[in-house]
DNA sequence: TAGATTGTTAATCGATTAACAATC
DNA sequence: TAGATTGTTAATCGATTAACAATC
């Protein structure tokens, strides 16, 4: 219908990364009791132009109106929120625990059902009421339970192996914190987080700034 | 000298995000004992084209040769690695602990010197040998100690306030995990991580894929 | 030497911005 | 109604890719 962007199968990464921010800010404005949202206001909060907001919404098929509830519903639909995503976390280390104890996304329909670790010491223990199972039982677990997303917080060396098992088990997505670049495929979607990379990017920006300070 | 890109003060975000990945993969190849690196090999590992690798390196001023040691040194220089970055973490919760216990970046000259929390319960305690101080003493601490990077793992509500204090204290960069979009300025560089956003982006990709599966 | 790889310029492609008639 | 805001197309801008002579 005159919207070429919609004919493409995948939206650009830049846009896919902005969508959650739109959602987040619409939720905030809703909580603030705002009656209306405008592309201008949203743009200001998110740190870009109103033209971009409108173009993004257009690219995603358009929204009926800019009431915060309508926007929130519409963005929820795009993002697949409230579809009940069942997740398991691999690795009961500090990062695994941090993710489990995150309350941020539980309200959006993301549930963590189990944690897996290779350390037998953890057997029978729980984290925040979630059972820790041995990683050797992962394949059986995936066979027996519907798992949508696997969160990898293991060392790099075993990440690829977990990915394979997740694919076999019919998992739809991987949220990967191990410092390896796992690839998305038609079988599974991957989101690589790479925490240390983002620290290095910060360091780069600091360094870059100091370089130019000295130049002038 | 014929390299226009270098005249620009800041390199593009896309490139700034690829640099740590180049560094990571060069380190891996070095550990594997590779004698040579080529733009093609690096591209394959990182998941892009050799033309992009060469263009990126050119944009960054160029590297003498492609020996893994030379490349590692050169990338280290760009990224500001080994300059000794002193860091403090705000928030002694699960995420704070996870970051402190991360061993990944200590080897790259990033040191965490202290943790701050507003919970008096923690007073006098330590995490991995790092003292937990009360957040009320943050300003004094920043005055008395050289701190390059402040890591924010607090709730959103106090993040802005911490940013202000960090700027006053002469901090160069913020590594922000609170779900607010803090802005970089000429005073301070900010890297917003937004863990939940990346989960939502993953959810979006999964959702998008299923949408097209149903269409066909 | 021949083959492969780099450095650099030019061409292409895609994403952001601008513009403005239509709508609120 | 007038002013502001949207939806959509077109223009611009920047990033990626292609090309290829120079070098390894």
In DSSP notation, B40-89 reads HHHHHHHTS-HHHHHHHHHHTT--S---HHHHHHHHHHHHTTTS-EEEEE
Please check whether strand D approaches the CB of A51 to within 7 Å: yes
Whether domain A85-196 has CATH 3.50.50.60? no
Percent of chain B with pLDDT over 90: 87
| pLDDT of amino acid A10 | 87
> Does residue A58 belong to the interface with chain B, where contact is any CB pair within 8 Å?
no
Quick one: average pLDDT of B5-28? 88
Among B108, B116, B113, smallest CA distance to B147 is for B113
In angstroms, the CA B190 to CA B79 distance is 15
A22 touches strand D (CB under 7 A): no
Instruction: Test B79 with A16 for CB contact under 8 angstroms.
Output: no
On the question of pLDDT at B7 being above 60, the answer is: no
Provide the shortest C-alpha distance from residue A24 to chain B (in Å). 8
User: At the topology level of CATH, where does A8-79 sit?
Assistant: Arc Repressor Mutant, subunit A (1.10.10)
Q: Is the CB of B49 under 7 A from strand C?
A: no
Of all residues in chain A, the percent with pLDDT exceeding 70 is: 94
The pLDDT of residue A2 is 43
pLDDT at site B108: 87
Nearest CA in chain A to B215: A9
d(CA A179, CA A193) in angstroms, rounded, equals 8
User: Has residue B176 got a pLDDT over 80?
Assistant: yes
Predicted TM-score of the model (pTM) = 0.95
* Amino acid B40 CA to nucleotide C2 C1' distance, rounded Å: 20
pLDDT per residue rounded down to tens, chain A (216 residues)? 345 444 557 899 999 999 999 999 999 999 999 999 999 999 999 999 999 999 999 999 999 999 999 999 999 999 999 899 999 999 999 999 999 998 777 778 999 999 999 999 998 999 999 999 999 999 999 999 999 999 999 999 999 999 999 999 999 999 999 999 999 999 999 999 999 999 999 999 999 998 777 665
CB of A54 under 7 A from strand D? yes
pLDDT at B42: 97
Among chain A residues, the shortest Cα distance to B188 is held by A206
Cβ within 8 Å of B, A 151-170: none
What pLDDT does A8 receive? Answer: 58
Determine the Cα–Cα distance for residues B15 and B55; give it in Å rounded to an integer. Answer: 10
Question: B199 is written with which tokens?
Answer: 């989960």
Interatomic CA–C1' length for residue B193 and nucleotide D5, angstroms: 32
B183 DSSP 8-state letter: P
CA of B210 to C1' of D8 (A): 28
Q: Is the pLDDT of residue B1 over 90?
A: no
The shortest CB-CB distance from A175 to any of B99, B102, B199 is to: B199
Residues of chain B with CATH 1.10.10.10: 8-79
Which two structure tokens, joined as six digits, stand for A139? 């394949």
Question: For testing the chain A interface, which of B10, B202, B216 should be mutated: the one with the most A CBs within 10 Å?
Answer: B202
Please report which residue ranges of chain B form alpha helices under DSSP H: 4-7, 13-31, 39-46, 50-59, 68-79, 94-101, 138-144, 156-168, 195-215
Q: Is the CB of B70 under 7 A from strand D?
A: no
Q: Using N-to-C axis directions, what is the helix angle for A68-79 and A13-31, rounded to 10°?
A: 140
């Amino acid at each position: 219908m005159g919207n070429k962007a919609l004919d493409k199968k995948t939206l650009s990464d830049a846009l896919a990364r902005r969508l959650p921010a739109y959602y987040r800010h619409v939720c905030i404005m809703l909580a603030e009791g705002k009656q209306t949202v405008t592309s201008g206001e949203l743009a200001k909060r998110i740190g870009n132009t109103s033209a971009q907001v409108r173009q993004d919404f257009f690219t995603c098929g358009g929204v009926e109106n800019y009431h915060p509830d309508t926007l929130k519903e519409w963005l929820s639909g795009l993002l697949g929120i409230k579809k009940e995503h069942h997740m398991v976390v691999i690795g009961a280390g500090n990062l695994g625990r941090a993710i489990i104890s995150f309350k941020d996304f539980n309200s959006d329909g993301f549930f963590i059902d189990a944690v897996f670790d290779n350390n037998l010491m953890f057997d029978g223990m729980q984290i925040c009421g979630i059972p820790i199972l041995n990683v050797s039982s992962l394949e059986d677990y995936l066979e027996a339970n519907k798992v949508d997303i696997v969160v990898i917080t293991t060392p790099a060396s075993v990440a690829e192996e977990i990915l394979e098992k997740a694919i076999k088990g019919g998992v739809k997505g991987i949220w990967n914190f191990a410092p390896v670049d796992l690839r998305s495929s038609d079988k599974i979607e991957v989101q690589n987080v790479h925490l240390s990379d983002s620290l290095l990017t910060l360091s780069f920006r600091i360094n870059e700034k100091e370089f130019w300070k000295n130049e002038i």
